[in-house]
């Protein structure tokens, strides 16, 4: 009887043209950007809304206005940013049933931290577009947008001591600065990346929460001149003690020891590695439509 009732409901739904509501999407911008820039996140939001009718898209803003949002991408402790976002998501009634997440550049690793630390509401799929999951911007080779004066100051601070307490607590880029020549300093003093990458011990909750994702999609820009090394976008990095030879994710200790659950996720088909020609965050709308949007539908 129950099976017959379910079949009738399905048929009624089809006849009435009912369709399942689109899964909401949460977007987090990168360094030097803001939630609603019409040339970046505003543009992405509009594409998604046009392609997926009825979808709810939340483009995260950290701060009271767009200027604060941009400044906080440089100067607000990443752990505080993640905590703020977790609160935003928990208080948004549109997200109660779960959501997909899409992070650009550092926004990709920050959303991974959200997945690991804040499982409610549940993140379903995580799409990281140019996110530096093993750290970077080693050497800080290029400055985004119109923030060159800020970047010059950041370079000076990183040169003075990326792993000092004062720099770690007040400079976002230092918090995912991964110097392959100073691995011990990184593991001991990095207040953000070393924590979410399980460098100082295993947090089983982090592992369990990340493994709950349906898909973890990582996009690497094949001609990236900003992220060093670009393989960090696929969770690879330099071999320890030098800055020339890199190793892919599957040969890292993070994977072989499965400290974060990535090996098990990989075997289950949950990890997706995508490559796109172009420099950092440079991609066409056609590529986005055909390659990324299917993970949101």
- pLDDT at 226 exceeding the cut of 90: no
Q: H-type helices in the chain, by residue range?
A: 2-15, 41-51, 66-75, 78-90, 106-117, 148-161, 165-170, 172-175, 183-189, 193-196, 204-211, 253-256, 262-267, 285-287
Which are the catalytic amino acids?
105, 224, 280
Can you give the pTM of this predicted structure? 0.89
Mean predicted confidence (pLDDT) in 217-230: 93
Question: Which residues have CB under 8 Å from 39's CB, separation 6+?
Answer: none
Mean predicted confidence (pLDDT) in 100-126: 98
Mean predicted confidence (pLDDT) in 213-237: 95
**End-to-end CA, the chain:** 32
Least confident of 112-126, 193-207, 237-251, 254-268: 237-251
Q: Reduce the secondary structure of 63-102 to three states and give it as a string.
A: CCCHHHHHHHHHHCCHHHHHHHHHHHHHCCHHHCCCEEEE
- What is 25-136+204-295's CATH number, 3.40.50.1820, 3.30.43.10, 3.10.20.30, 2.40.340.10? 3.40.50.1820
State the pLDDT at residue 11: 40
């Amino acid at each position: 009887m129950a099976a017959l009732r379910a079949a009738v409901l399905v048929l009624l739904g089809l006849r009435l043209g009912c369709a399942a509501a689109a899964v909401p999407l949460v977007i987090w911008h990168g360094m030097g950007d803001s939630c609603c820039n019409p040339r970046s996140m505003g543009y992405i939001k509009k594409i998604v809304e046009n392609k997926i009718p009825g979808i709810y898209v939340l483009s995260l803003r950290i701060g009271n206005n767009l200027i604060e949002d941009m400044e906080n991408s440089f100067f607000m402790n990443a752990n505080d940013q993640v905590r703020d976002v977790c609160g935003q998501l928990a208080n948004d009634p549109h997200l109660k049933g779960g959501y997909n997440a899409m992070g650009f550049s550092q926004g990709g690793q920050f959303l991974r931290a959200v997945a690991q630390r804040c499982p409610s509401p549940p993140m379903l799929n995580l799409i990281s577009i140019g996110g530096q999951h093993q750290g970077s911007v080693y050497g800080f080779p290029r400055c985004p947008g119109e923030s060159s004066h800020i970047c010059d100051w950041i370079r000076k601070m990183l040169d003075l001591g990326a792993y000092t307490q004062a720099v770690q607590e007040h400079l976002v880029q230092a918090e995912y600065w991964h110097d392959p020549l100073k691995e011990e300093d990184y593991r001991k003093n990095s207040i953000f990346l070393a924590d979410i990458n399980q460098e100082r011990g295993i947090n089983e909750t982090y592992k369990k929460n990340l493994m709950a994702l349906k898909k973890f999609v990582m996009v690497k820009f094949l001609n990236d001149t900003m992220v060093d090394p670009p393989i960090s976008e696929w969770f690879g990095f330099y071999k320890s003690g030098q800055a020339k030879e890199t190793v892919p994710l599957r040969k890292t200790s993070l994977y072989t020891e499965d400290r974060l659950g990535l090996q098990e996720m990989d075997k289950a088909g949950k990890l997706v590695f995508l490559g796109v020609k172009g420099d950092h965050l440079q991609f066409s709308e056609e590529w986005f439509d055909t390659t990324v949007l299917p993970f949101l539908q």
